[in-house]
Amino acid sequence: MNTQAFELGKKAYQSNDWLAAVAYLGDAKDSGEVSGAADHMLGNAYMKLGQYDSAAAAYGSALQDASYGKVGALSCNMGRALLAANRPKDAISALMRAVQDPDYTTPYKAYLALGGAYERIDDVRNAGIAYRNAAIDETNPNPSGALSSLGSCFMKLGRPIDAVEAFRTALDFSNTPAQQNAIFSDLGLAYVASNRMPEAVGAFEKAVSDGTFALSADAQAAFDAARKAVSAQGAKRGVSDTDAFLASMGYGSAPVDPLDPMGESGELMPSPEDTGFFSVTEADLVAIDKQNRKIRRKHRRTGLKVFLTVLVIALLLAGICGYAYYRGFGWPTQQSVVESLFKANTDGADTSELFADTVSADAQSELLTLLPSGATVAVTGVDQEMTASTVFATAQLREGGEQSYTINLVRDGIGWKVAGIEPVYLSQDGQTPTVTTTGFAPTETQTDEQSDQSSEQNNDGESESSDEENAN
């Protein structure tokens, strides 16, 4: 930053020497440098000189300085510059960014410019919405101008009754005779379009009463038609001068909304009948405020009740889930885990996700050799506890016969995983169960002693295998 050039530019700016300010501030920044303060003043100086495109570019550069902030003010200024440069679509984008800045303290300025930008592109509906937002902004010290512009939008949309209310409310905020005279003229036109001729005559007379305001050609024609209608005292005749004037202005005896010719939606723009904004008195506003406070208090109590209800339900659900966890319930269930294990073994699918982390890959392979392929399994019982469960299953073998199993499962989160598998065999007399982990069933001719010997041999084999593993 060239501090000397910046200070000279700032001094020139404060003394309204716009040419010098532009020269010095333009030299204040180094190449590629951003400075919100310098570019902000530079943009304002360009605006004073009528160089609107350059002003918009300066404001855009200031917006690149995140540390400077003032996004709302800079975007509003940029929008105004673009609008002055006859670039309304670009102006709308900048002004929308301004009104969306929560730190912008005077959004009504951006809304006023936004209304003008929308009018430039003949988007009267959005222009009216922007003017209404400007009028109801609490920071707007003089909403009369925004209300008057809103009334003009209502007239263009073929809604003279709404325009009347907008102009009447604008009069309540107007603070200069010139401004009041202009609003009275617009109000007279709205009265004529609404076929309220006596009121139209009164409005036009007030507009010209001090002799400082001249009616436009359209307003003068409307004034003359209204006076003729009043003087006729409602005598029945053919097409009256007033009716002819209304027809020439595009209004009939019953004004029609051009965007809603059937009058069914009623949602083109918030109307005074819907919002109550234009026609309420001060006493009404006080009463509405009291009512709103009651509603807010009621809503707060309702919100508290909803919160407490949700909290109680959450606690009940937590209690139910805790009790179910304690009783050994979970998801997936013990039964579904066992059935999935047998199916995955038959299909040759990966079964590692079904085993507990404590079961090694070698142990998993050994346990899977105990399971038959192609068997249909049925769970005959479950002994479930909080952290461990035992499942009793019977497999219908593909070649005929049955094989029983005891599968041990351990808790894994809210679900279960396999920790061990034990085939269960019946002794020769069919009464005493024998449990083994070998997977070899005794033949029908085997005696109990032979079965014991086979078990001992298997145990010896397991011991030898264990010794070999330890040696390794």
Span 170-191, mean pLDDT?
Answer: 92
Quick one: pLDDT at residue 175? 81
Quick one: pLDDT at residue 174? 83
* Phi then psi dihedrals of residue 378, to 5 deg: -135, 125
Span 313-327, mean pLDDT?
Answer: 80
Torsion region of 113: left, alpha or beta (phi above 0 gives left; psi -120 to 50 gives alpha): alpha
Look up residue 141 and give its two tokens: 């010290």
Say whether 398 sits in a helix, a strand or coil: coil
The band of 98, judged by pLDDT with boundaries at 50, 70 and 90, is: very high
- Quote the CA–CA distance of 104 and 74 in Å, as a whole number: 10
Q: Which residues contact 128 (CB under 8 A, 6 or more apart)?
A: 115, 150, 153, 154, 157, 269
Quick one: pLDDT at residue 471? 38
Quick one: pLDDT at residue 330? 79
- Quote the CA–CA distance of 439 and 424 in Å, as a whole number: 9
CA dihedral 446, 451, 453, 457 (to 10 degrees): 110
pLDDT tens-digit readout, 360-419: 988 888 888 888 888 888 888 888 888 889 999 998 888 888 889 999 999 988 888 999
Residue 332 has pLDDT above 90, yes or no: no
pLDDT tens-digit readout, 403-433: 899 999 999 888 889 999 989 876 544 444 4
CATH class of this structure's domain 334-441: alpha beta
Residue 253 has pLDDT above 60, yes or no: no
Tell me whether strands 415-426 and 402-412 are parallel, antiparallel or unpaired. antiparallel
- Quote the CA–CA distance of 247 and 238 in Å, as a whole number: 14
pLDDT averaged over the chain? 79
User: Is the distance from CB of 351 to CB of 345 less than 8 angstroms?
Assistant: yes
Quick one: pLDDT at residue 49? 94
Closest CA to 133 of 110, 162, 158: 110
- Quote the CA–CA distance of 122 and 458 in Å, as a whole number: 95
Q: Which of 47-61, 285-299, 386-400 has the lowest mean pLDDT?
A: 285-299
Give bridge partners of residue 277 from the DSSP assignment: none
Sole residue written with tokens 């960014």: 97
pLDDT-above-90 percentage for the chain: 47
> Which of the two residues, 64 and 453, has the higher pLDDT score?
64
Query: Measured between alpha carbons, how far is residue 292 from residues 286, 288, 299 in Å?
Result: 10, 6, 10
- Quote the CA–CA distance of 203 and 199 in Å, as a whole number: 6
> Which of the two residues, 232 and 256, has the higher pLDDT score?
232
Give the single-character DSSP code of 230.
Answer: H
Laid out side by side, the sheet with 415-426 consists of 376-384, 388-396, 402-412, 415-426, 433-435
Q: What are the extents of the domains in the chain?
A: 3-279, 280-326, 334-441
Sign of CA dihedral 332, 336, 341, 345: negative
The most confident of 28-32, 94-98, 355-359, 441-445, by mean pLDDT: 94-98
- Quote the CA–CA distance of 371 and 407 in Å, as a whole number: 11
Quick one: pLDDT at residue 313? 85
Quick one: pLDDT at residue 304? 59
Quick one: pLDDT at residue 192? 94
* Phi then psi dihedrals of residue 446, to 5 deg: -70, 140
Residue 338 has pLDDT above 70, yes or no: yes
pLDDT tens-digit readout, 218-242: 999 999 999 999 888 554 444 445 4
Residue 297 has pLDDT above 70, yes or no: no
Burial of 330: CB neighbours in 10 Å, binned 0-12, 13-18, 19+: buried
Closest CA to 398 of 420, 359, 371, 433: 371
Quick one: pLDDT at residue 432? 46
Quick one: pLDDT at residue 303? 57
- Quote the CA–CA distance of 345 and 405 in Å, as a whole number: 15
Sign of CA dihedral 7, 9, 10, 12: positive
Quick one: pLDDT at residue 298? 53
Quick one: pLDDT at residue 248? 56
> Which of the two residues, 106 and 270, has the higher pLDDT score?
106
Quick one: pLDDT at residue 53? 96
Tell which CATH classification among 3.20.20.150, 1.10.357.10, 2.40.50.220, 1.25.40.10 matches the domain 3-279: 1.25.40.10
Quick one: pLDDT at residue 116? 95
pLDDT tens-digit readout, 114-139: 999 999 999 999 999 999 999 999 99
Residue 345 has pLDDT above 60, yes or no: yes
